Structure 1
Amino acid sequence: MLKFAKYFFIVFLITAILPLVLMFAWNNSQMEKFHNAMAKSAMSTGLMRLEYSVKTNLKVQEGDILRKLYYILPNDKNLSHIKNILNDYNTEVIQKPIKTPVSFYERKNFDLYCVTLVPFDNSTKGLKISKPVSLDLLRPTGPYTIELRFNKDDAAYEFKNVAFDPMAFGPPKKIFLLLSRVAKPHYKENSRREIALKGEDNSNAAYLTIELAFGPFRGMIDSIFTSLIILLVGILSSFVIGLIIKRVFVTPVMALSKAADQVKKGNLNFKLDASSKIEIIKNLYENFNDMILNLQTKEKLRESFISNLTHDLRTPLVSQSQSLEFISQKFKEIGLTNEYELAESLAKNNEHLLKMVNLILDSYSFDPEKLKLSIEKADLYEIIEDCKEQLKPLLAEKNIEFVNNIYKGGTLIEADLFQIKRVFINLLSNAIDNTSGENKYIKAAARFEDEEVLITIEDNGNGIAKEDLKFIFDRYYSGKSLERKLGSGFGLSVCQKLIDMHNGQITVESEINKYTKFIITLPLSQHPGKGTKEQP
């Protein structure tokens, strides 16, 4: 059932949430590609316009100066007259021969000037005419910001156009700045370029950086914002739908699976709460509870039938056992060998049949709720030896070596001796039944771990099939494979219940035709509780 829930959740993620995430990622990717291309195109245009503005500004100033000086130079050498004509420029004489007019940019303190040199005094001197440059005149039309620096890595002045422009949409809101960080657009990689302003002698007088403003890319942020809203709404809706499905479908089905597992383990007292408001679930639970009632009734009838039957069978089998023993002894005394062997064989078969009848009767009469354990301290070595003595004829008959590796007097446990022997007798009997041939053995061992003792019963017999291992402690399970006989399915079930009553655990390891090992974990001291009482 847990696997079903896991697969259901995976399918839910794939069909509901994953498409929304992929849609958001794809839309963001496409918008990013579009805006990267737009940024690259806009920057190419802006850079071209900026370079044109820089060159044009020099030519315009040079043309304006030459136009104003056309009628007075080279005849008029009065500097005051020239300054009056060029009253919007800074004019000074330089002691440097100038042959032809030349224009360039120059830094004065922290200002950028456009400088034009023209011939003066028969080209033996020159006039240096300059004027501060307005960055607003250089900024190309469009969503651009330009920045002026006199050193390549040092920003001295920065100018940003704040006037309204048809391509700009004003400064971004905080939410858009936040979304731009979340979406991490990469268009700014193509949104910044730099050019050098040439000074005298073709040196770099200053640097202009052009950068795209935020405004033209609002569409991308709007798209990201919309996609995020759709994604969040989709995830929230999917989560709510998943909770509804879990409440309406998954949880009731898992409860039903748990109840079925309890029934499988033999618990016929488990019932489901049929008060659900969902009609289908309510009917399903009511049908399950009705099925449990029917099983309880049938189980009681079967237990009564088997109990009566085994009682009826046990009485004649006991009498028959005594009769066969008497007959076999008489045949032996008078020397009728064949008849003696036949009588012995009948006696063994009768004994085996009586053993199975007793096992069935004990299993059906076994009730953990009514059983009270009588706890006392005992030497585990002596317990195993007592069991060995009871099974000695069977061990000798099949020529099986029994090895008790438990140290005498070194392993004291607290347990109900009768019930714990019952467990070991059952395990050893199963081992004997499934072990035969040469070099066969059964070993008992124990070791301490913290406050517990681990007891192992191991044989090198037929082994247990892998598909049987997880079911061998279930009631009525007798095994599907042919390698190992598991009996009627009652004995191991009773063993597990008895170990549970001792606050312990029993597990099994096995490999076909190699070995089988039962591992019993018991606490060294038992605490009185339900089903237990201490000996005075």
Structure 2
Amino acid sequence: MRIKSIATKQFLLYVGTLTVCLMIMGASLSVAYTRHYMNGVKDELIEQGRKISSAISKAYVTGEVGNLAYEMQVLEDYMGAGVLLMNDEGVIVLTSPGMDKTLLGQVLAYEELVEGVREGNIVSLQTGSSTVFGTPMMVVGYPISTGSLAGIFMCRSLPEIELSLHEMYRSGLVSLLLAFMVSILVSIVTSRRMTEPMMEMNKAAKVIAGGNFEQRVEIYSEDELGQLAESFNHMAESLQNTETTRRNFIANISHDLRSPLTSIQGFLTAMLDGTIPPERQEHYLQIVLEETQRLSRLAEGVVEMSRAQSAKIILEETDFDINELIRENSAILEPQMQEKNLSLQVSLAEKVSMVRADRDKISRVIRNLMGNAVKFSNADGVIEVETTLSGKNKILVSVQDHGAGISEEDQKYIFDRFYKADATRNQDKTGMGLGLSIVREFLQAHGETIAVKSKEGEGSKFVFSLRLADKK
């Protein structure tokens, strides 16, 4: 069965990783602790051997040799270890009470132990199950040089040592199981906490796909998931703005299409049924022509915007004087400026400023910005056009009016397709909200930028950049 839930996959991944890690850690700790414990037992036996050696030496000096058997019994009871005493000839001459008495008078079968002790070395050995001791033993030999004695053998049962180890293993296993259960609980909580935001985003995405663009997700943290949630909300807001713009566009274009079509239909019907006399028909035919031109401009703007949005803008870059282009467009707009008695102030950075760009498209940018400035300027106002150098290879072109201005909220969307600020609707009867969007697309195709600075009641200033032509 294929697992589809991310939370389940995450949980199984945690559990699998944790299980493998605990198994490796348990095996490593088991080996390390066994080695450490066995070394500790061996060191303890060596230390007891040293004490017995000292006690034997003292007993021979004081003549209290008879007390050795008692001390060996106490040691055997205390440590659980048997003791064997060996003479110079390698023969066992004394055993603790718990050891096999048949060993007395015999030579140990472990030559490496006997020879090592007789040479004055401390030696150790773990015997097998079929041994002279009858059970596996850890034997530590400690050399002495008192009287006829040559060494002491400390013997401790390996099964007893292993029993102690098993008890500790059991405690360690219980601790590991408790740690495993706690880790499982933490994994469940962590998996849910990590996947809940994604599940919430998934549900929100389905809601948005259904047309509800007001859906948002809650941001729980500032990590990658929090950033993803923030990006998701930003996307939803952009979709909502796009949908709002689309609806406004449909409403606007419906109104703007209906108005000229109604006029055209009304005038043509009136001419056909004779309501308009023949001598007045030329006047109304001129109005009909203007309305058809208005519809043509609308269709052309929509098509051009569509091309711009599909990245099909083809640039024909040449070197030209931006100052000359500003003068040409100023002359074209002069009749409109005269109608509102507007004055134009032009401030140029240099007498000649050669730039590298598509001349026709930059001309349309300037004409659009200056045309907007004329539309939204108050009568008897001033329009300012200025060029300034920026860095080594850039020039900034600004167009400023002193009209109604643009609110801060409208400035966020002023370059969006079909967007028209509420404050400008009564002043811009023919526009469709495509001009500034096309301007931005043209400039972005050049790799340049455009920005707006505006304050309500004080006018607006649009600034765009261009690349200077290389000096020859």
The answer to whether the superposition gives a TM-score over 0.5 is: no
* TM-score of the two chains, using structure 2 as the length reference: 0.42
* TM-score of the two chains, using structure 1 as the length reference: 0.37
Structure having the larger proportion of residues in helix: 2
